[in-house]
Amino acid sequence: MEARKPMLAINYHLEPYFRKELLQDVFGRLADLSPESRADALAAVKKTVRVSGFRNPMQAPATILNKRVEEAFEKDNTLATALLLAWKELYADAASLLTPVLQELGFALNAEDKLTFSVGWPDEIDYKSLAEKVLTAQPAIGLDQDQIALLTILLSMQLPE
């Protein structure tokens, strides 16, 4: 059986600018999350992020909080998992458009383990070709290349090699 990788392994595949966008997206849209996802995300932040002068890191200025969360996101699997699942929930509508395209491309979308990744995308699929195929099949999806790649990873629970 192939060794699976923790959610934290996503950091190897995220450009720093996109990791910031992802975190800003989640924190900027907390109200759009289900109560459970919002509670999980906030609890993970409160448990793992420390900001001097603040008992509750969520009370810190946004620039300081974002920096501390980004640092913790790269090191703490619980935080990475909670925030990635929150981000995935925010893009549920796009996921419904993306799923049939991914199935057509050969992605397995029925991973039993939804908290760890396997490694390996279908042959001849990389970030660029994935985005091209998705945008051709679903031009109204409203995602950029980075968002398509991350949503693909989270739906398939497969990291590219």
For residue range 95-117, list pLDDT tens digits in order.
Answer: 999 999 999 999 988 767 778 99
The whole-number pLDDT of residue 23 equals: 95
Band (pLDDT 50/70/90 cuts) for residue 2 is: low
Among 147, 150, 96, smallest CA distance to 159 is for 150
The whole-number pLDDT of residue 1 equals: 46
In the numeric block, the tokens 């909670």 are attached to: 82
Longest dimension (CA), the chain: 51
The whole-number pLDDT of residue 114 equals: 78
38-58 pLDDT, tens per residue?
A: 999 999 999 999 999 999 999
From CA 147, how far away is CA 131, in angstroms rounded? Answer: 9
CA distances from 73 to 41, 68, 104, 138 (A): 12, 8, 32, 31
